Structure 1
Amino acid sequence: GAVAWALLAALVLVTLAYDFITNQQGLANSAKIVANALTVLIVNDAPTSSPALLWLFLFTWFVGGLFALSQTPAARAEDDKPLARHLTTLAIYVGITLAAFLAFALPHASRIQPGADVALAIGPYYGAALALLFIVALALWRETPLPTLALRPATRWVQAAMVPLSLAICAVLIVNLNLGMVKADIYYKQAKFYDQAQNWDIAIRLYQEAIDYARDQDYYYLFLGRAYLEKATAIANAEQRAPWLERAQQTLEGARQLNPLNTDHSANLARLQRTIAEMTDDPAEREQALSRSLQYYEDATALSPNTPKLYNEWGLIHAMRGDLETALTKFQKSLALDQQYEETHLYLGNYYLNQQRYEDAEDAYLKALEIKPDLVQAHSALGYVYSKQGRLEEAVSENLQVLAISPADYASHKNLAILYQQLGRYAESLAEAKAALENAPQEERSALESFIAQMESQLKSSGAN
């Protein structure tokens, strides 16, 4: 009947309200949040009038009203007062839908105001949706009662008890198998925003919230472990850094225990140990971390034996330990798996460069660039190879290629300043040195300033402007 259709339309409107009423401008007034969500769109960080969502809501509301009117007896020629019946149906429809929409939308807007925990907004929506569905069922049952089962009086209490018991079981299943997962995903997506902004403290807290709602999902542990690691790398003091590294280790181990067949977990543990080895000044601790990293890479490649990236990283650990022969074996294994993976050629180039095998390094870097022409690391390394071979013009060309891809690259501006000086092109050297100074780390600014002063002196002595 009309009441059931009105309630179903209200359910649709409430769902639309949950999906589309957002607080893009960070307002603190619920009514304004609802109004702006329906009529304002943020374009290039500026509010722009856009009634598209308002029309969506009105069209949905209008179509629902047509269905409700079609269910009145007047619509089926069963009433001698069709106008009165239609007006009554319309009044019922308008009253129920508007009341339900406002009763949900305004409190929902208050739950998405600045400072509110938006993940908690999903719970009231579930409650509203289930309540409306239950009332729809009651309305339909009232209009068309179901056949009564012929039960003996002694067993009727069982039927009566099954209704609340079934509702309780459904509620527990919904909360544990669905609602919790949705909340976890909301917290995860919030955490990713702060993760990208490198706000590790807030990201860590939100990842922990996600895990609280989905403790059996290894995916969230992976990102929490990474956030712990990033937090640790930002701390200069070794004693203060150690607890965060330990938390990263425990979290990533927890992820691997939940899903031991996921290669990413073993690989991430290997990368964590490599990072620890790179940060420590203790030779014994460094060797221990590298040994652990090797074991984790062995586990990872056992799970994914055809992944070139893992062999490249595995080879890098052997190189860090000074086992260059084994490192080369791993790089060659990676190359055998995929000759079109540019990273492998880059690793081989670096290997040959460290061995001062400049021609082999050049070949490896050129192959990497054949596969990926905009690979900055290959252009930069190739420029260094050319400079070591005395091919200064070619070295300049490679560094210019880097700047074409990444105009603010500090190392390339610095390299060009030195190369131009060696070529006697002092004005260009000075310009590149000044460009490098704009992005130079604090510890290198003094040396660059001295270099700039030297270039200015050479320009004056040569009579150049």
Structure 2
Amino acid sequence: MGDYYIAQAKEIEKGKDWNTAIPAYQKAIEYAPANPEYHLFFGEFYLMFAKTARDRAIKKMLLQKAWRELEEAKKGSPKDARTYLALAQTSEAMSRQKSPMTQSSSLQAQANPTNRENSTEQYYQTAVSLYPNNTQYRYLLARYYKRAGRLQEALRQLETMIILNPGTVGYVRRNPFNDIPGIEKAVDNGLWQALDNRFTHNNAASILASRLAEKQKWLDAASVYKQAMPKGVFADRTGYYLRMGQYLLRGGEKKEAENYFFRAIIIAPDRHSVIRSLMTNYKRAAKSDEIFVLFEKLKERHPEVIELDLYWAQVLYEQKDYEGALAHLQLFLKSKETAEADYWMAMTCERLKKTYKAETYIKRAIKWEPQNALYRHFFAGLLYNAWRFTEALKEADAAVRASHNKNPWYLDRKAWILYRMKHYDESIEVWKSATGLKPGHKAFRRNIDMAAKAAKEA
């Protein structure tokens, strides 16, 4: 029956109806007064309740109640790490309740700690000693040391935490630790030590490589990340090969990078996605020209990947080689027609002043994907440039609807169409909506003034 009331209390607690939860906890303890877990739950509840209380007297009262319940839990289960952690948190909260810990007071506490502060540290240390591999406990102890101004002790706990779980680096680099002198060194020390543990090796290597890449030490990143290759018959190495290739490419090792990229393509279940990733890697490395060499080799080795011509065309389009883009799009469309290919064909034809063909292809793209806001937006622009404003407005409306009125540029195009149709008041309202989405864009405000002036003169 006690478990029933505990479950009821926990459910009530989710809705933060604190006062209603108290009787449920009390009934559970009535059924099993010697159950340390019930006292722990009740103590943790009071601690959580205290954190939400704004009135100092109420907060103090709740912390005292938490303390009593947790002491009961400790009596019944003196080796429970979670109980000691809750006692530490309660003790710390009570200390801060008496005197909020500023930097000066924390330094004073370091020199002459009070009994409460001593007990807080002891409880944290006991919790950690009972559950030494729990990274949360070490994080909370490190935070306590940080607040107390004991920075070296905080760093030691954080370093150990990273050794245990390299993935905790993200927590360390955020507040409240990011301003501690020596924090980056502690992080690196923890990661290098985690490399020596077979259970944390791969994770540590991956994170270390990312940190080296952030510093643009690309070849060092590749050297470390090489150690993180997934092992096993069923291991998916596609992402690993792509990332290795990325580091090597950015480090100037083009040939070796290509080898890794080819390996990724060979084993990838979805080669099209891999080739897209390759395009991104080459662009980021500012080596877009070199991707064509890779494309040539890919086409020789994997002629079945017909999407290659589509991606090739996209790169050429971005380089303003519209004739080249057109040729590759035509090759692709001979084998397969997709909305994406029709859209790129429409854009390419527009650049080549082949507006009739551009309209044909964008209509095809919209037929494939009628709710695609980007396609509708492009078609609206095509019609706008042809002074076919009524048709353009229909497409612009469709683009705005498909984007749920959340794209300022789609609204801007619609407003311009309305302006050209001399629907000045409507264009003003649409530009106001665009301004609400992008308040820093001054052109929208200028356009509103322009339309307002035109409305007066009309």
Question: How does the TM-score come out when normalised to structure 2?
Answer: 0.50
- Which of the two has higher C-alpha Rg? 1
Higher relative contact order (CA 8 A, sep 6+): 1
Question: How does the TM-score come out when normalised to structure 1?
Answer: 0.49
